[in-house]
Amino acid sequence: MVIHGGAGTILKENMTPEREQAFKEALSAALRAGYAKLKTGGNSLDAVEAAILVMEDNPLFNAGKGAVFTHEGKNEMDAAIMWGPTQAAGAVAGVTNVRNPIKAARAVMEQSEHVMLSGRGAETFAEARGLDLVSPDYFRTETRWQGLRRALQQDSLKTTLDHDDDNSQSSTNKHNDDKYGTVGAVALDSEGRLAAATSTGGMTNKRHGRIGDAPIIGAGTYANEQVAVSCTGWGEFFIRGIAAYDVAARMAYSGMPVAEAAATVIANIGAMGGDGGLIALDSDGNMAMPFNTAGMYRGAITESGEIELAIYK
């Protein structure tokens, strides 16, 4: 099983030892939760959901409890899950009161004829299925609120300056941990079945009901019988590049191993002007975790229970 907790401007010199340790403990907890499912008869779908639940409930991550704020000062969350053997999938987008969006995504997959539900409709569906609903205040954290305030201040400064095309482009590319982040998990069970799941609060200061790649099947989340993929980063580019499916397509049509396919996809995202990373796991247990940012919170657990964690390049 492989997980990620978001990619971005994650520099060791900006990280206190205490915060670094907190992230490592959180990643380990998520891996152990997923591993426990696999070792007690659960399948890979159960495992990725369990791992995501741990990260959604941890305010360190931009998902669930730690979701970033929109321009209007709201938390709007997206999530998706996909079962490789049948390519069944479910997703929700723009939910504001579902404690664990990944549970809603799985409910959409298993208890509806649809793949994606959004906004109030997704919330009504979640309520009807008995999922845990909370006040929107539950998701508020001071760290994310201050991130929004910084973004709004930057917007205000931009309106006072004249930018030529080059300056505008460089300003657009100055994304950091305040802007985006996602959590994701991919798993392979004892019967060789793959699953993928992704959950996110999106981008700080996002507007107009913006939806990124995470809940879009084939863009931010994908699984079939050969590979499972979860992406994180600047979602607009992952959507345009159909990034998660592109990994699977390169493996199927070009015979690329998973590491080469994943690295090629991230290189193409970078060539388009986007940044981020992905995790991928194939049916033989080979994994890949490429990214083109300064860091990506990531980890893996082997069949024997050995945990490997990394944050920086």
Measured CA angle at 9 (ends 159, 5), to 5 deg: 120
Which residues are bridge partners to 194 per DSSP? 188
Reference 31, options 313, 307, 261, 284; nearest CA is 307
What amino acid occupies position 171?
S
User: What is the C-alpha to C-alpha distance for residues 109 and 126, in angstroms, rounded to an integer?
Assistant: 12
Distance, in Å, from the CA atom of 87 to the CA atom of 224, rounded to the nearest integer, reads 6
**Cα gap 139→309, rounded to integer Å:** 27
Antiparallel, parallel or unpaired: β 116-118 and 88-95: parallel
Contact 281, 258 (CB under 8 A): yes
Query: Could you give the angle at the alpha carbon of 310 between the alpha carbons of 105 and 284, nearest 5°?
Result: 65
Q: What angle separates helix 243-254 from helix 258-272, to the nearest 10 degrees?
A: 130
Q: Which H/E stretch holds residue 122?
A: helix 119-128
- Sheet bearing 182-188, strands edge to edge: 116-118, 88-95, 77-83, 194-200, 182-188, 2-8, 295-301, 307-312
210 token code pair: 């913006």
Looking at the annotation, which residues are catalytic?
182
Q: How far apart are CA 45 and CA 219, in angstroms?
A: 19
